[in-house]
Amino acid sequence: MVTPIRRRLEAIRDLCDSFERHPRPSWNYRAVFATNRVYLLNRGELRVSYIVHVAPPGHEDGVFTSSVTVWPPGRKRRGSERLWNAGSKRPGGWNASLRGSNWYGDCDRLLRRYGYHGKWRQSPWGRFGDFWKRHRNSQALAAEPAVLEKLSSEHFWGRRRTKR
């Protein structure tokens, strides 16, 4: 039986084969494989995206990269869809209880142990962590999903939310 995942992977393989047989230099060749996890943390939801990328040459982070994006629980203001009204003169969006327990610094250290480097950026929905890792070659990148699976099961993130 052909599963939906297998069908998608076959389609990706067929598309790659097509571009290999008939190169199209004006096209950017790019691939992204990702998983999103939701954890329960301090009475809120922590969202983490684990992604492996094959980006076109000239991409600022190199051709073979992986990333981890971390969205800690934020504060929602009454009557607003946004968690925080951040701007250049009023940066913010830090979760006060997480900041008080040095959670952001601990998160940085955990991700550095796995080879990821980045920073906390502001957005209208609160602070988010944007961490990246470069890989030497396609073999190193192909090994990264196993590393990301291990990272995603670290006790640090909290209890994983199951589907309701």
Could you state, in order of their start, the residue ranges of all structural domains in the chain? 28-160
Express each pLDDT in 33-87 by its tens digit: 999 999 998 778 999 999 999 876 665 556 889 999 999 987 555 555 555 555 5
Please give the mean pLDDT across all residues of the chain: 85
Choose from 21-30, 104-113, 133-142, 152-161 the range with maximum mean pLDDT.
Answer: 104-113
pTM of the full structure: 0.82
DSSP code string of 30-99: -EEEEEEEEEEETTEEEEEEEEEEE--TT-TT-SEEEEEEEE---PPPTT-SSS----SSS-----HHHH
The pLDDT of 105-113, averaged and rounded, is 97
